[in-house]
Chain A
Amino acid sequence: MTSRRGDHDLKRGLGSAFGVRRSPLRPAARWLDTNLGGSGLLRDELRHIFPDSWAFFLGEIALYCFIVLVATGIFLALFFQASEAPVVYQGSYAPLAGAEMSVAYDSVLNLSLDVPAGLLVRQVHHWAALIFVGALIIHMLRMLLTAAYRRPRRINFVIGVSLVLLVGMNGLMGYSLPDDLLSGTGLRIAFSITESIPFVGPAMASLLFGGEFPTAGLIGRVYPVHIFLLPALIGGLLGAHLGLLWLQRHTQFPGAGRSERVIVGTPMVPAYALRTTGYLLIVGGICAAFAAFVQINPVWLWGPYRPWDATTAAQPDWYMGWLEGAVRMMPGWDIQIGGLLIPAIFWPAVILPGLIFTPLLLVPWLDWAATRDGAFHNVLMLPGQHPVRTALTAGFVTFLSVLLVAGGNDVFAFVFGWSQPAFLVVLQYLFILLPPVIALLTYLLLRGRARRWASTVR
């Protein structure tokens, strides 16, 4: 031992004598290598290259929202009680004093109005969820517009679309938990939609909800799904998504020195790590700013859920707006065949989401079927380069936008003083006509540009 130490001191002495600076991190690196191994691998990965573009931060916003959601969610879980047992409200909110409510709703009121910083954390959680889904959707649209889903990233695109689906579902679970009037109404509609599925619907609804709605214990059933099952799936898929991204490297936009073989960008340490940590904090800061100054879901105003109460202008969170719009727009065409019934709500609430998500999940293969391009691609296409792809994406966005507007048709009609049924008819026509029109216009607009592009590239 003594001799080794002496050796060590000697080296240090020699090093300083020749003016070579010894890194203060040397002991840490030595510890890492001797205890875990792989310092060489780590050395390479510290310089992992990230191509630069603002468009590549959309996915990071989503990731950071997830981190904010987990952090705030743990705080909320310390106070929330998932029970429908009746209790008389004795908290500080005078308008509800003495009201009978569930333990769950009581705990959310307590969390919001009496726990220090509780309201802030709850509002950060809700805002982060809204931004999360928005970032995911815009991130996905970026993939569609730049054909980033081509080989070797087909599987990662499928993972991404699954994440959109799971995150949206978990948002629905989240706003079902407070057991206020809006959350109870949402669960009631979810029961009705499940019930509408031909043949298996009633049994499925009964199994999922534990009987005929409203069932005791439903909040206790939604809670582990919201805080454990879905977050575990989301976290796992996020890990896989990032792992694949790391192994395959990020795509890049075309540019000088860049090719399908050569990646150009910023190394992870120092520049990229600083920037992305900054973005994490900025996402957290924006959520905090919204939570401070823009009230969201003031559950104390809605009152406890009682199935015979209702409120006007009730709206789900924005990312469920398309589904709400579809449910509102669908005419009441119940199909009755010899004593059997397919309720009209089955089509917009069960079939339509399937019609949206199935082709989305298959986009990499549909693209391949159309272009026969099965090669590896690391360089992205620009939206103007491929008019058909961009036109289809524009049509898809239009389609979702009409649905979203229809989800708030009562509010729009009220604000602009329109007749609500007439506005609904207008929306029904727009739903059919507007997406193809916008897609066609986009195509015509880009066609000339794409030709010029192709000729300059040649």
Chain B
Amino acid sequence: MTAAGKDRGPSPHVRTWPVGLGITATIGGAIAFAWSFVVGASNQWLGGSLALALLGLGLALAFWGRDLAGDEVLAGRYPVPPDDTDGQAALATQLDEHASVITRRSFLSKFLIFGVVVFALSQVVLLGALGPWPGNSLFTTGWRKGRRLVTEDGEPVTRDALATGGFLVAFPEGGDDKANSQVALLHFVNGDFVPPAGRESWSPDNFVAYSRVCTHAGCSVAEYIDVDQMLVCPCHQSAFDVLHGAQPLAGPAGRPLPQLPLAIDKDGFLYAQSDFTESVGPGFWDAT
């Protein structure tokens, strides 16, 4: 224990050199930091000098404190656990006594609670300001009957724009809701693609378009691996078999990518026969 109040010489156990070294580092780091900022030095200089300054001072204080901690170990008392049941009973009685001034007015106090509840419930309507009711929005995209396929730059996609074995990303002309309308357009070698039952007329000249919004978590199914004929989502690695209706092959997706019914007009432009016939993207309660 240091003698308080009498001879207040330096505490004997505090070693000078680590503390002194730390403070010196801080002074050096502080100057270097200001200099780095003024001359516009790199992030490494700026951050390195700041780190040196903070660590120097921090270590100095920590060392000093640690040496002092060895000098003085105190013992004290924890708060006493409440075994004073009389006190608790008294508190309860007191609360009861004073609160009963209110509760004695039985009708009025119940009416008060009723009023407060009605008010609280009325405030729930404010939630409605946060966003629109989903309505039809999750079931529709920017595709409509007759709407042409265009590239990201707005170029219409023609029969000749994509050779067999090729792949491109297409959107509905007009650019509505590009995020949920994006499709992967694939042009297969004749005979490779097996149209699912009922969709025989959706893939003219072996052009097939699948929604590019993953049915798992909604990321863009951005990778086309042509050797395996798969579309793969980079977020959670769901893989879809493009030759068989984009059924899931591996990974966490549970449902196939919706297919867009395509047609080709007499000038060779690709267009949609309609919107998707099912909701695109991840599943939800009434999606099917």
Chain A residues within 8 Å of B, Cβ to Cβ: 21, 47, 49, 52, 116-117, 119-120, 123-124, 152, 185, 188-189, 191-193, 195-203, 205-215, 247-249, 257, 260-267, 270-286, 288-289, 291-293, 307-314, 324, 327-334, 336, 339-345, 375-376, 378, 409-410, 420-421, 424
Contact = CB atoms under 8 A, between A and B. Distances in A.
B205 to A, nearest CB: 24
Nearest to B239: A421
A207 B129 CA distance: 8
Interface in B33-56: 37, 40, 43-48, 50-56
A421 B228 CA distance: 14
A225 to B, nearest CB: 12
B262 to A, nearest CB: 19
A285 B61 CA distance: 13
Interface of B: 5, 8, 37, 40, 43-48, 50-66, 68-69, 71-81, 127-128, 130-134, 137-138, 152, 169, 171, 178-180, 182, 212, 216-220, 222-223, 233-238, 248, 250-255, 281-288
B185 to A, nearest CB: 13
Nearest to B248: A332
B219 A201 contact: no
Nearest to B48: A292
B69 A278 contact: no
A237 to B, nearest CB: 22
Contacts of A120: 43, 46-47, 50
27 contacts: A47-B74, A117-B46, A195-B283, A200-B285, A201-B285, A205-B284, A206-B137, A207-B131, A208-B130, A248-B78, A266-B69, A270-B65, A274-B61, A275-B65, A278-B57, A278-B64, A279-B58, A281-B57, A281-B61, A282-B62, A285-B55, A310-B234, A313-B234, A331-B254, A334-B255, A341-B285, A375-B81
Contacts of A197: 285
Contacts of A333: 254
User: Most chain-A Cβ atoms within 10 A of its Cβ — which of B40, B134, B282, B288?
Assistant: B282
A272 B69 contact: yes
Contacts of A376: 81
A257 B73 CA distance: 11
A284 B57 CA distance: 11
A339 B71 CA distance: 74
B128 to A, nearest CB: 8
A289 B284 contact: no
Nearest to A282: B58
A334 B131 CA distance: 27
Contacts of B237: 328, 409-410, 420, 424
Contacts of B284: 195-196, 201-202, 205, 341, 343
A185 B219 contact: yes
A247 B57 contact: no
Contacts of A280: 58
A310 B48 CA distance: 34
Nearest to B44: A292
User: Most chain-A Cβ atoms within 10 A of its Cβ — which of B43, B72, B285?
Assistant: B285
Nearest to A188: B218
A265 B283 contact: no
B252 A345 contact: yes
A312 B221 CA distance: 11
B47 A189 contact: no
Nearest to B22: A278
B130 A210 contact: yes
Given A188-B219, A378-B78, A206 B285 contact: no
B285 A202 contact: yes
B47 A292 contact: yes
B73 A202 contact: no
A211 B59 contact: no
B65 A274 contact: yes
A241 B271 CA distance: 62
A211 B254 contact: no
A332 B216 contact: yes
Contacts of A262: 75-78
Contact of B222 (A193, A261, A309, A378): A309
B233 to A, nearest CB: 8
A363 B78 CA distance: 24
B100 to A, nearest CB: 28
A185 B236 CA distance: 12
A49 B76 CA distance: 7
B235 to A, nearest CB: 6
A215 B180 CA distance: 12
Contacts of A202: 134, 138, 284-286
B74 A116 contact: no
B74 A188 contact: no
A308 B43 CA distance: 33
Contact of A189 (B152, B235, B287): B235
A212 B69 contact: no
Contacts of A192: 216-218, 281-282
Given A199-B285, A263-B77, A189 B219 contact: yes
Given A203-B133, A308-B182, A345-B282, A188 B48 contact: no
A271 B69 contact: yes
A212 B180 contact: yes
Contact of A340 (B48, B219, B252, B286): B286
Contacts of A292: 43-48, 50-51
User: Most chain-B Cβ atoms within 10 A of its Cβ — which of A210, A281, A324, A341?
Assistant: A281
B222 to A, nearest CB: 4
A211 B132 contact: yes
B74 A345 contact: no
Contact of B134 (A206, A265, A334): A206
Contacts of B60: 278
Contacts of A341: 283-288
B89 to A, nearest CB: 19
A284 B58 contact: yes
Contact of B218 (A206, A213, A248, A265): A213
